[in-house]
């Protein structure tokens, strides 16, 4: 890990309700002094998290780039900002695959978030076929170049083959570090020094230390393990805290 960038652990709850204990005073979702921790629940649970003073993000789904208007079923970034949301998750591979979101759509979401003073966490990642064909760097570069990379954003590298119920495996620490370093090389020297790049993809307590120890990995975007509060998510946060104190 790099000591100049504070580790960020983000819980992506996907299409799941908050687990028991999520809003407790000692909830693992609460920010720790030396590690940033945020919860990214469904829209139904955002207000509960905000009321409990948990730093909260939103999963960008039907989120329109306009602030208001005749867009049935959509909400705007400004609406999220108005209720206190501080982060949004954009570009997840599940949105790209199942809802047809393009690089241009994701970039527009990130820009709309920035305009509303919300910090975007933007997901990028390659498929197993693209990696096997040795096109993974080409795919990642295309996705990164589409983004407002000279603005204040966080990038989450989530190889598609490592996430979800059909995950093949987690990336090794060497694979993850190699890709994170490549992503950082696409940024300007000034922006690359301060932009946090998270790893996501079967990150659990058993591999958290090895992954989070890498110099270009600045935290984790946690999916399934974020629902197992005590046995998984709390342990990942604890490991991040220990690494931050080294």
Catalytic residues: 92, 158
Helices (H), the chain: 43-51, 77-83, 93-99, 103-115, 128-132, 136-145, 173-185, 189-194, 205-212, 234-244
CB neighbours of 16 closer than 8 A, spacing ≥ 6?
Answer: 42, 227
Q: Distance between CA atoms of 241 and 14, rounded to whole angstroms?
A: 25
Q: Distance between CA atoms of 213 and 199, rounded to whole angstroms?
A: 11
* Among 55, 58, 141, residue whose Cα is nearest residue 92: 58
* Among 12, 232, 242, 215, residue whose Cα is nearest residue 122: 12
DSSP per-residue letters across 44-106: HHHHHHHHTT--BEEE-SSEESSSSSS-TT-EEHHHHHHHT--EEEE--HHHHHHH---HHHH
Q: Any idea what DSSP says for residue 127?
A: -
Token pair for 218: 């600045």
């Amino acid at each position: 890990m790099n000591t100049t960038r504070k580790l960020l652990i983000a819980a992506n709850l996907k299409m799941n309700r908050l687990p028991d204990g999520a809003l407790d005073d000692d909830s693992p979702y609460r920010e720790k002094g030396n590690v940033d921790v945020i919860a990214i629940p469904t829209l139904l649970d955002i207000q509960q998290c905000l009321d409990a003073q948990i730093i909260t993000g939103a999963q960008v789904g039907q989120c329109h780039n306009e602030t208001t208007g005749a867009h049935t079923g959509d909400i705007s970034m400004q609406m999220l900002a108005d209720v206190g949301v501080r982060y949004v998750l954009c570009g997840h591979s599940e949105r790209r695959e199942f809802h047809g979101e393009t690089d241009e759509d994701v970039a527009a979401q990130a820009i709309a978030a920035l305009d509303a003073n919300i910090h975007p966490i933007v997901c990028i990642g390659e498929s197993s076929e693209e990696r096997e064909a040795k096109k993974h760097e080409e795919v990642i570069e295309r996705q990164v170049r589409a983004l407002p990379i000279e603005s204040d954003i966080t990038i989450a590298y989530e190889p598609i083959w490592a996430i979800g119920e059909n995950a093949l495996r987690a990336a090794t620490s060497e694979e993850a570090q190699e890709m994170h370093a490549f992503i950082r090389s696409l940024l300007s020297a000034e922006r690359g020094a301060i932009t946090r790049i998270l790893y996501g993809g079967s990150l659990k307590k058993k591999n958290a230390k090895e992954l989070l120890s890498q110099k270009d990995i600045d935290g984790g975007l946690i999916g399934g393990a974020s629902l197992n509060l005590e046995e998984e998510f709390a342990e990942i946060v604890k490991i991040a805290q220990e690494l931050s104190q080294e």
